[in-house]
Amino acid sequence: MWSLSVFCILAIGYVSCDQKCQGSPRMYNGKRCASTTRYNDYHKGACGCGPASGDSQFGWNHDHFVTAPNQMFFDEGYSGWCGQRCGKCVKLTTTGGYVPGQGGPTPAGMSRVFMVTNLCPNVYPNQNWCNQGTGPYGNGHNDYGYVAHFDLENGASQVSNLGWNNPEVTWEIVNCHGSNTPTDGMYQQCQCAHHGKRSLNETTNGSEN
């Protein structure tokens, strides 16, 4: 007898029952979806959020909610430094889903706001997650079907303390307000503060101008 998970894979393509987002691009409750992972890094990152001398982080870039998105979210021109979305913030909301074998169940509806301070480049060992071929409003997706990926800094266990285990999320570009979210003033300390961060209209799923 076939299991329910096998039935789901046959019924809706490569989407597992553990993944709540469906379609192309993958959506949930009318919003675009993304995959997430966690990392622990003491480097200033691709937005230059650390002292000018050396490669260390500012404290807030280690223990606040910050993220390293995939290359085509970070900068659609393939820049590896001072990308167009440096200093922007994304509200990530859990769907209750996850990629089988890569995460675990997380309650749906948990939202946190993360600032972009780093890059997840399309190089080893990130290719499965960060190899999208188009920007976040296109249809290019990673190996798990998501148009965006967010690697979340967990240097002070700030993400794991939420109970997040690489959850599937929806994303929206929003203003930088939230508990443990870096402020715009903090971002002004970064070397890329005057290179990226285009203006924002806070509309459905984060329209930009």
User: Does the N-terminal peptide bond of residue 25 adopt cis geometry, omega within 30 degrees of 0?
Assistant: yes
User: Is position 88 within any domain?
Assistant: yes
pLDDT at 144 over 50: yes
CATH code of residue 143: 2.40.40.10
Q: What is the pLDDT of residue 17?
A: 85
User: Is position 140 within any domain?
Assistant: yes
Domains identified in the chain, total number: 1
pLDDT range class, residue 208, cuts 50, 70, 90: low
Q: What is the pLDDT of residue 155?
A: 98
Q: What is the pLDDT of residue 16?
A: 73
Q: How far is residue 137's CA from residue 132's CA, in Å, rounded to a whole number?
A: 11
pLDDT at 15 over 70: no
User: Is position 201 within any domain?
Assistant: no
Coil/strand/helix, residue 169: strand
pLDDT at 13 over 60: no
User: Is position 193 within any domain?
Assistant: no
Q: Which residues are catalytic?
A: 41, 151
From 20, 23, 57, select the one nearest 154 (Cα to Cα): 57
User: Is position 126 within any domain?
Assistant: yes
Coil/strand/helix, residue 56: strand
Q: 39 near 57, Cβ under 8 Å?
A: no
Q: How far is residue 20's CA from residue 27's CA, in Å, rounded to a whole number?
A: 8
User: Is position 196 within any domain?
Assistant: no
The model's pLDDT over 96-122, given as tens digits with 9 standing for 90+, comes to 999 999 999 999 999 999 999 999 999
User: Is position 202 within any domain?
Assistant: no
User: Is position 71 within any domain?
Assistant: yes
pTM as predicted: 0.89
Q: How far is residue 47's CA from residue 68's CA, in Å, rounded to a whole number?
A: 10
The model's pLDDT over 149-159, given as tens digits with 9 standing for 90+, comes to 999 999 999 99
- Expressed as residue numbers, the domain containing 38 is 20-187
